[in-house]
Structure 1
Amino acid sequence: MTAAQADLAGARSEFTRSFAIDTPRVEDGAAIWRIARDSEVLDLNSSYSYLLWCRDFAATSVVARDDGGSPIAFVTGYIRPERPGALVIWQVAVDSGQRGKGLAGTLLDELTARVAGEQGITAIETTVTPDNTASDRLFTAYAARHGAVLEREVLFDGGLFPDGVHQPEVLYRIGPLGL
């Protein structure tokens, strides 16, 4: 077992007692939007888009719920139409009071295992800006846990974004997955 796998195993034992991992529901959209907004890292989409995400992409997304059933973290994703073996991870966010416990990695593992079993994905893709060290660590550790190759390349140069200064979005391709 690698150090990354041991860390995740320890984190999972903590979460199995206190949190449930579930498929998002439309009524989770507002809470997911708030978690994304409060992350202060993610590009915030409209609140409407989170409601749609919970309706249209629930099968490729997960939410963690506290003991009261309220969302405390989420991972949203979709199957890329041009590459149906790839799950694109759109956003990952954890409520500020739950960070640093390995919840994001646990959710990512649970989601990819489920989608691999149901839809046969063999890779994931996501984009990360160069200043987002938490996401870089999350996806680098994910690749290591699954014995997968991680390739990086700039997908969208910062100058393509119409809203002023934006860092480049670096595409992370991880696969093949050993799920």
Structure 2
Amino acid sequence: MQIERSTSFRAAAPEDGAQVWELIRQAGSLDVNSAYSYLMLCDYFRDTCVVAEENDNIVGFVSAFRAPHSDDTLFIWQLAVARSHRRKGLGKSMIQTLLAREASRIRYVEATIGLSNTASRQLFTSLAKHYHTRFEVETGYDSPLFPPESEHETENLFRIGPLSVEKS
């Protein structure tokens, strides 16, 4: 399946925070942070976040930031796609949009992915193949680091790169 032609991609804006929070909440598989955190992401990190919009509705969102220890590395924090828009390549297109925007600065992409999150593992493997580069997987955050009551699984760290991304 393909992305609808009416889907547009843009940088986030503070006004998107409430819709993004709702999208994350409805995703069902992501950790839902406070509504305030999404307002801040859409404001302070707008340059490294992407909103996918269709008919004035947010149908996808990627939050990311340049890693403080290495500003040529983009860390993807969350990626959400509305249920109605899944399996159309929207997640990959949002990341490619972000990488094209940040092409002069980014050589590596990182994300932590839960062991059971097959879709995200496939997405990041696909990105590495698309950019003809390698990816490495190592333990990112082991489950004992999380509070026991959260029952959070281990998150592996995926690292893709080095990238050579053309600005579109």
* Band the TM-score falls in, shorter-chain normalisation: over 0.9
Per-residue deviation, 1:18: 1.2
Structure 2: unaligned runs, 5 residues or longer? none
> Number of aligned pairs?
164
Q: Using a 3 Å threshold, how does the CA distance of structure 1 residues 58 and 32 change in structure 2: closer, same or farther?
A: same
What is the Cα deviation at residue 36 of structure 1? 0.8
2:44 aligned partner, one-letter code = D
**SS of 2:12's equivalent?**
coil
Using the TM superposition, give the Cα deviation of residue 48 of structure 1 relative to its aligned residue in structure 2, in angstroms: 0.7
Percent of aligned positions with the same letter in both sequences? 39
Whole-Å separation in 2 of the counterparts to 1:75 and 1:93: 7
Matching of residue 124 in structure 1 with residue 109 in structure 2: yes
Report whether the alignment pairs 1:152 with 2:137.
yes
Counterpart in 2 of 1:89? 76
Q: Which amino acid in the other structure matches residue 77 of structure 2?
A: W
Tell me the residue number matched to 1:166.
152
1:42-67 per-position Cα deviation (integer Å, ceiling 9, x unaligned): 11111110000000000011001112
- For residues 144 and 15 of structure 2, what CA distance do their matches in structure 1 show? 36
Alignment partner, residue 30 of structure 1: 18
Cα distance in structure 1, aligned partners of 2:133 and 2:32: 30
Q: Which has the larger helix fraction?
A: 1
Cα distance in 1 between the residues matched to 2:44 and 2:123: 25
Could you say which residue in structure 1 is the equivalent of 2:94?
107
- Please state whether the residue corresponding to 2:91 is helix, strand or coil: helix
Q: Any idea what SS the aligned residue of 2:30 has?
A: coil
Q: Distance in 2 between matches of 1:123 and 1:113?
A: 13
Cα shift at 1:166: 1.2
Whether 2:67 is the aligned partner of 1:80: answer yes
Cα distance in 1, alignment partners of residues 63 and 33 from structure 2:
12
* CA distance, structure 1, for counterparts of residue 28 and residue 144 of structure 2: 22
1:27: how far off?
Answer: 1.0
Deviation at 1:163, TM superposition (A): 4.8
Could you tell me how far 1:178 is from its partner in structure 2?
A: 2.4
The one-letter amino acid of 1:142's match is L
Distance 2:65 2:12 in 1: 13
Look up the equivalent residue of 1:55 and give its one-letter code. D
